[in-house]
Amino acid sequence: MKNKTVFVACDTSNLSEIKKIITQTNTKKLKIIPKFGLQFFYSKHGRKFLENIKSDFWLDLKINDIPHTALSAIHSLKDLKKCKYITIHANGGVEMLKEVKKEAKKINKNIKILGVTILTSLNNKSLKEIGHTKNIKELVLKQAALIKKSGCDGIVCSAQEALMVRKRYKNLLIITPGIRLPGDSSNDQVRIMTPKQAFKNKVSGIVIGRSLTKGNIKNNTLKLIDHLNK
């Protein structure tokens, strides 16, 4: 169990709720790392909290801009000493990915740069509406190739594409959002999977949010542990 990494999505701007999530998902039976996205990072107390946090965390900003602006964003985060993972979007292109990876390692040699592919809220119909001509699997593989070429440490994709990516890239970190415990609502996610199914698809880690954070967090955490032990 300890070789399975779970990231809990701390998707709230309420500082008390954030502290509650971190405290109540803390367990010796499973490695659970908090993931903070735009909602908390942009909140009044979010930035200051992350500056002083004592545990490792994932900062999920999905940086996607011209290389100069992306590098400036990375520099502005150098005081966040416990940030172990940060996301940038494959849509920014291979040069942006390369530059961010290179600069981030100068600031913190232990940080992992994760390239984001197609969001788990999208399906093939959504891609056509945006203007893509490739289907999800084709596009994820194309983006995975760019992420690998850039030297980034890992990829963020749905668990439905994870096994396909793993067969091609044996040593790439693969982290998958869109994870739900059995019986839970999919909410705004489309390409979802259970934690156990995801790990069977050779992922390095999973992101789980509302299945853990809605309702009784301690009980939900125990449910997750029990689900993975079956």
Q: Residue 48 pLDDT > 70, yes or no?
A: yes
Report the candidate in 185, 154, 186 with the shortest Cα–Cα distance to residue 172. 154
Determine the residue type at 177: P
Extents of the domains making up the chain: 5-229
Report the candidate in 123, 175, 179, 122 with the shortest Cα–Cα distance to residue 144. 175
**pLDDT (average), residues 77-85:** 95
Residue among 62, 101, 148, 196 flagged as catalytic:
62
- Residue 144 has a pLDDT of 97
**Pairing relation of β-strands 5-9 and 57-63?**
unpaired
- Contact present, 156 and 113 (Cβ < 8 Å): no
pLDDT digits (tens, 9 = 90+) for 193-219: 899 999 999 999 999 999 999 999 999
For the question of residue 29 being annotated catalytic, the response is no
**pLDDT (average), residues 166-195:** 85
Q: How far apart are CA 185 and CA 27, in angstroms?
A: 25
Q: Which CATH number fits domain 5-229: 3.40.718.10, 2.120.10.30, 3.30.565.10, 3.20.20.70?
A: 3.20.20.70
> What is the share, in percent, of the chain residues with pLDDT greater than 90?
83
Radius of gyration of the chain (CA): 17
- How buried is 116 (Cβ within 10 angstroms: 0-12 exposed, 13-18 middle, 19+ buried)? buried
